[in-house]
Amino acid sequence: MGYYVEVEAGIRAFVEEVGTGRPVVFLHGWPQNHQLFEYQFNELPKHGFRCIGIDFRGFGKSDRPWHGYSYDRLADDVRVIVEALQLKNAALIGFSMGGAVAIRYMARYGGDRINQLLLLAAAAPSFTQREGFPYGMKKEEVNAIIDAAYKDRPNMANDFGRMFFASQISDSFRSWVNDQAFEASSQGTIKCAESLRDEDLRPDLAKIQVPTTIFHGALDRICPYALAMAMHEGIANSKLIRFERSGHGVFYDELAKFNQELLTSLNQVRYRIGNAGFVR
């Protein structure tokens, strides 16, 4: 079922739920929406999980305000939704930019209501190169993407999409992923690209105190594998799972392996805490 939650006065975020059981919150990447997790939503409810997909403001079916695209504000939106649903002992899954927002949520709110973090090809701890961090894109490269979004956003999305997967995918599937980018607002696309360029999550990593699993493709051309190693080093007791044949779209490039590893990680924490305390 789908519904809206008001995350700020006059601004609503779209949320879709599938299944019942332990809540699992999904945060999508730039510039897509929650539909990107279709092949996880098809699987997890079979195993007793309640999948909750959020469209960030400016993306998918959510409202499209002019403001509010910093990691802090996006994390605040997630917080409002988690509180509105009264979630407890939830797993938080963030892909790409969604992984960055998930990290900021954990640092900003002390992981309240969340007892497990899963980072998928996360755009963290910094999406761009900076002093002391020579990994990721150069800021000039992101500036070029932003400039292209101002001039020809559909072509920019197509070019970005060509870097997404390492496996052979159908033209129809690639079009489906690109169509999600086309659904996004231009303002949300541009302002979130600026956040990707400018935000630095390195100080946030040490604040994460829940079991954390990092899923990352060895062939990722958008968030290189060095980012995964930096997160693994910065997040205490985290686990890093390397997908040798995956690019940025780690959730699909090796779909069967990914879903199995995801279920294993989710079940390990679920079995540890039992079913007590799960509420809507």
- Tens digit of pLDDT for each residue in 217-241? 999 999 999 999 999 999 999 999 9
Domain ranges for the chain, please list them: 2-273
CATH superfamily of 2-273: Alpha/Beta hydrolase fold, catalytic domain (3.40.50.1820)
Looking at residue 231, its pLDDT comes to: 98
Question: Do the Cβ atoms of 234 and 209 come closer than 8 Å?
Answer: no
Looking at residue 277, its pLDDT comes to: 43
- Tens digit of pLDDT for each residue in 181-207? 999 999 999 999 999 999 999 999 999
When pLDDT is averaged across residues 114-123 and rounded to a whole number, the result is 98
- Candidates 255, 184, 241; CA nearest to 212 is 241
What does the alpha-carbon distance between residue 204 and residue 248 come to, in Å, rounded to a whole number? Answer: 23
Q: Is the pLDDT of residue 163 over 70?
A: yes
- Element containing residue 8 per DSSP (H, E): strand 2-8
Looking at residue 270, its pLDDT comes to: 77
Q: Average pLDDT of the chain?
A: 95
Q: Is the pLDDT of residue 31 over 80?
A: yes
Cut 0.85: pTM above it: yes
Q: Catalytic residue numbers?
A: 96, 220, 248
